[in-house]
Amino acid sequence: MKILLNGKLVPKDKAVVSVFDHGLLYGDGVFEGIRAYNGLVFKLDDHIERLYESAHTLMLKIPLSQKAMTAAVVRTLQANRLKNAYIRVVVTRGVGDLGLDPRKCPRASYFVITDNIQLYPRSLYEKGLEIITVATTRNVPEAVNPQIKSLNYLNNILAKIEAVTSGYEEALMLSSQGFVAECTGENVFIIKNNRLLTPPAHLGLLKGITRQCVMELGVARGMEVREEVLTRHDIFNADEVFLTGTAAEIVPIVKVDNRTIGAGRPGPVTAGLLEAFHDLTRREGVRYVV
């Protein structure tokens, strides 16, 4: 495997960053997770744009243009001869001293990783996933805005720890007011009476790119689609529940906090949206040749 590190393709064991890099010391940096399907990088422009928006909010200057970063992703995929891959693009504040001051980091660092990923086993898409609500609440936007896809994921990791130690793969996170926010790495949707509902971003969740795709697919299928403040009561009594994310795609949820959702198996609307999403990934994206 080769990693693109600051413009150079290097072997995996040579892809290293300094212990003085503020991305490592403080989580000061941004990232994107992207997917390639059969030689098409899905929604690459959207992901790169969000990467640069996150960096702009952090006043983190990425040392190459968006067009050049797009080319860097394609170059790394080609170097590793991958037609299907998970792509991780990371930009750190760069090397500085042991203080917090970002001015002590004269140049940002970046790297691109392309590899395979399977977040959940295939059986879970067929049988559905059971999740629980955890005590760790989602960061409030006034403190750390979730629209900044930063390298500091401790909020999500703490929730993931709660889920795993309780015997579950995923956790539902609530806002500080007790409303449904998102899961540790995915957005949440419910289906109720042919309405497709998902929490609004102001509650403290990332406006996921897969989330937006699913909302558009719902509209195309004639569904009423909107953002709505949801409680756990709404989740428990939904016809169907599913999660969305770049790595996860669309994952059906069959039980939340030991409450059975709908018929207790992946529902037909979720299955239809997943099929439509897969069709979209076969048709849209930045094409490259291995």
Q: Per residue in 11-22, pLDDT tens?
A: 999 999 999 999
Per-residue model confidence (pLDDT) at position 98: 97
Is 30 in contact with 151 (CB distance < 8 Å)?
yes
CATH fold of 122-282, please?
D-amino Acid Aminotransferase; Chain A, domain 2 (3.20.10)
**Residue 7: which residues within 8 A CB-CB, separation 6 or more?**
64, 72
Known active-site residue 149:
yes
For 92-102, what is each residue's pLDDT tens digit? 999 999 999 99
Domain with CATH 3.20.10.10 in the chain: 122-282
CB atoms under 10 Å from CB of 92, counted, come to: 25
Domain with CATH 3.30.470.10 in the chain: 2-115
Is 29 in contact with 277 (CB distance < 8 Å)?
no
- Report how far residue 92's alpha carbon sits from residue 125's, in angstroms, rounded to the nearest whole number: 35
Overall pTM surpassing 0.85 (yes/no): yes
- Report how far residue 214's alpha carbon sits from residue 219's, in angstroms, rounded to the nearest whole number: 9
% of the chain surpassing 90 pLDDT: 97
Catalytic residue among 2, 43, 149, 160: 149
Per-residue model confidence (pLDDT) at position 250: 98
Q: Does domain 2-115 have CATH number 3.30.470.10?
A: yes
**In this structure, what DSSP letter does residue 167 have?**
T
Query: For residue 262, is pLDDT > 90?
Result: yes
Which residue in 109, 107, 115 sits closest to 73, CA to CA?
A: 115
Three-state SS string over 101-138 comes to CHHHCCCCEEEEEEECCCCCCHHHHHHCEEEEECCCCC
Is 281 in contact with 40 (CB distance < 8 Å)?
yes
Q: Would you state the structure tokens that stand for residue 220, as one six-digit string?
A: 């195309």
- Tell me the three state secondary structure of residue 66: helix
For 180-237, what is each residue's pLDDT tens digit? 999 999 999 999 999 999 999 999 999 999 999 999 999 999 999 999 999 999 999 9
**Residue 101: which residues within 8 A CB-CB, separation 6 or more?**
none
CA distances from 202 to 156, 214, 275 (A): 17, 19, 30
Using pLDDT thresholds of 50, 70 and 90, give the confidence band for residue 117: confident
What mean pLDDT comes out for the span 105-120?
93
Per-residue model confidence (pLDDT) at position 190: 98
